Amino acid sequence: MTTMRPGDCFYNKAVPGIPSHRWVIVSDPEQDQHNVLIVNFTDADDHHDTTCVFTPTDIPWLTKRTCMAYQFAKLTSIQKLEEAEAKGLLFGHCEVSEEALALIREGVSTSEELKKTDYLELLRSQGLA
């Protein structure tokens, strides 16, 4: 990933205690490269929050019914993401469609798992929610 944009996805390298998951950039790094909201995809059959569910029909690179794990959403920075990528800790770049990204962003405002965070305010300040 040379230029990170909303909808860009990547895997984190698994390390002890942290399994590998695919993450998506939800906020707009061009508006704020120091506060970049990322959310990970996880197996919908093993997760309790079904606010935002996708199938391989929705996103072609998915292999099963998948949902967004909003409880694990993180704020990071472009610098941290680029450093992790340079160290080989991020890999498998792809992207989601604008439609899928809009659904993921909508989930930020409706998921019970994010009600206590300021992630929605970040998206609102960027005109994305």
**24-64 residue pLDDT tens:** 999 999 999 999 999 999 999 999 999 999 999 999 999 99
CB-CB contact of 128 with 109 (8 Å): no
CA-based nearest residue to 125, from 45, 49, 28, 44: 28
* pLDDT confidence of residue 1: 47
Mean pLDDT, residues 78-92 taken together: 95
Residues in the chain: 129
Rounded Cα gap, residues 37 and 7, in angstroms: 11
Q: How many CB atoms lie within 10 A of CB 66?
A: 22
Q: What is the pTM of this model?
A: 0.93
pLDDT over 90 (residue 18):
no
Q: What is the pLDDT of the chain when averaged over all its residues?
A: 93
* pLDDT confidence of residue 3: 80
CA-based nearest residue to 108, from 31, 47, 24, 30: 24
**CATH fold for domain 8-123:** SH3 type barrels. (2.30.30)
